[in-house]
Amino acid sequence: MKINLKIIPIILTVSLFFAKPVCAGDIYLNNELIEFTHVQPMIVQSRVMVPVREFFEKVGYEVQWDAENKKATLYKSGKSYILYVGNNIIYRDGYTFFSDVPPQIVSSRIFLPLRAVLEVGGYTVDWDAQNGNVYISEGNDDFIKSYLSVINGLNIIDETAAKINGLSEDNIEQMLPEIQSSLLSCSEALKSARNGLEKLSADYPDKTEPKEGLEAVIHLEEIINRLIVLFNDNNDTKNELEKLNEMLGKY
């Protein structure tokens, strides 16, 4: 029997159109069951999705929905979280976090990825694979603090790099003290990031992200420390640019 390959995409499209999300198991916050009265959580691409208003208001968030822009904004403890339907990015106070499943509209209801949003808010989320239940606990903001410390360090490095790129023989004497101060700020920010990532690596030995982040931060620290030595050298400052280019060429 000869199969018409042209019909396969049509079959897949139809099957996806009529496929229904799978309902999730129970969800517990600090060992207390969260009950849903209007619509139940569901599983999408192996991720638990929850109805935004019914779930997050019970967890203590203020929820605002912008229908025109398909934008959900959550507020709690002076922090804001912004998500857009179909967009994998979560915005927290100007910082960006990634979710592998974006917010979705199902049967006129807005669903958000439970784990991604709560972990950005500093919660710990555990999955009971055997029973399909989710257990949420408050008060663990270590991951977010470490993430933000890394972002802060990278932002300071970007600002310092812009200053270094703007150096010339004409302005190096004037810019040198400012760059020296910025490099010290970079060093302190990266030290904070390294301490946080070391703790995460110890607390979550099965996760690769903290270890990879730690390796990257250590590498950046080496570069910054070399730059500190370079820009505090008492040699002729006119040769600083040549030394800098020679050193960075090794990385």
Write the pLDDT tens digit of every residue in 190-221.
887 788 788 778 877 777 777 888 888 888 88
- Sequence-distant (≥ 6) Cβ neighbours of residue 23 within 8 angstroms: 40, 41, 42, 43
Task: Looking at mean pLDDT, say which of 3-17, 37-51, 70-84 comes out highest.
Answer: 70-84
Helix, strand or coil, per DSSP, at residue 158: helix
- The domain that holds 110 is classified in CATH as 3.30.457.10
Whether 211 is covered by a domain: the verdict is: yes
The verdict on 146 and 131 lying in the same domain is no
In a domain? residue 102: yes
Q: How far apart are CA 150 and CA 244, in angstroms?
A: 24
The domain containing residue 112 runs over which residues?
22-137
In which band, very low, low, confident or very high, does the pLDDT at 62 lie, cut at 50, 70 and 90? very high
Domain C-terminal end among 137, 171, 206: 137
For residues 122 and 150, membership in a common domain is answered with no
3 in a structural domain: no
Q: Which of 91, 122, 137 is the last residue before a domain boundary?
A: 137
Closest residue by Cα to residue 86 from 117, 57, 64, 113: 113
User: How many structural domains compose the chain?
Assistant: 2
Strongest mean pLDDT among 105-119, 156-170, 175-189, 229-243: 105-119
Task: Say whether both 62 and 100 belong to one domain.
Answer: yes
CB within 8 Å of 210: residues ≥ 6 apart: 146, 197, 200, 201, 204
